[in-house]
Chain A
């Protein structure tokens, strides 16, 4: 599948109708999502024929992109039932078989080694401090191959240190720096659209 085609399909997905601020529910835009998954597959071969988990899947964008690029089995996990409903409808519309689990990532009982790759756009930890690191440490525990994740550029040193020192990652690399445009979803957003500098990371286990 071509990048443009992937981006187009992801652009057709339904997004949050009523986003919840405490969960930092920002949709992962089709531009970023398609590039993240395209790189994971075409540069590193981490998607096709693999078991892929999407942590905090929201409306399912990253998991759906993984399925479109040939993941053998995709699991999307989210704490919020409305998101999962939209995600499973999105997957069904594209005739993709994706498993969804309704669960808080930090409480999930999970046998290690079965998941090859975790892809995620975790909360940035802006509203609830530390939630970004919580997602990351669990992803690094669950995945046997690689973790792809988006984090604020301002946390770069901290992320690298934690991944290598505390979570036993073999490597932690910023693949590229992106502008994440957070549209005015919430009342406390004063500007119409805010650009946040975000790193796309690849961690190897």
Chain B
């Protein structure tokens, strides 16, 4: 059974519909990439899954066996669906440590939280070095690391990442994708949204192509990487 199963997700802003019957699954242990051009609706999809944008009637989102399409955001996080949002959205005037603690807001198991904090600092040592500094003082790459580590502090079953490579230097991008692969090898399921399609498809098991709010293609990531249409539209070839 899929960990996440989206059927006919419709969502938008006010009178405008952005998502047009998006259907998608993520199995436990998978990395799934969603690629698409500017404004295709990738962020809207993740925000609808997190309950920030309300899915419209007829949408069905089943996560870990439960319908979550009408739950408030905090209930969704509590069930194990966390996201590192586009643009990082760290809390600039909270310390790095406070940001990470906010990631664990729904948890009460203090020893587990302490252990996960130690893991974050092992994964991204710079966050440990700067833990008492205001997060707004971190560089872009460090903020991205913080956003990912913060989402992991919820100890999610499925981690959603929105454009983790945006605006970062190439070697940092590689570092971040390697962390994502390590997490996955430890059992974390990942849904990643990227404009950097080549990178995302290289690391993912399966992929979806989103065009103006509709899923137009889905296949194994290796197949998409060689598909002529994908190569032309998203890999710049």
A and B associate: no
Chain B interface residues (CB < 8 Å from chain A): none
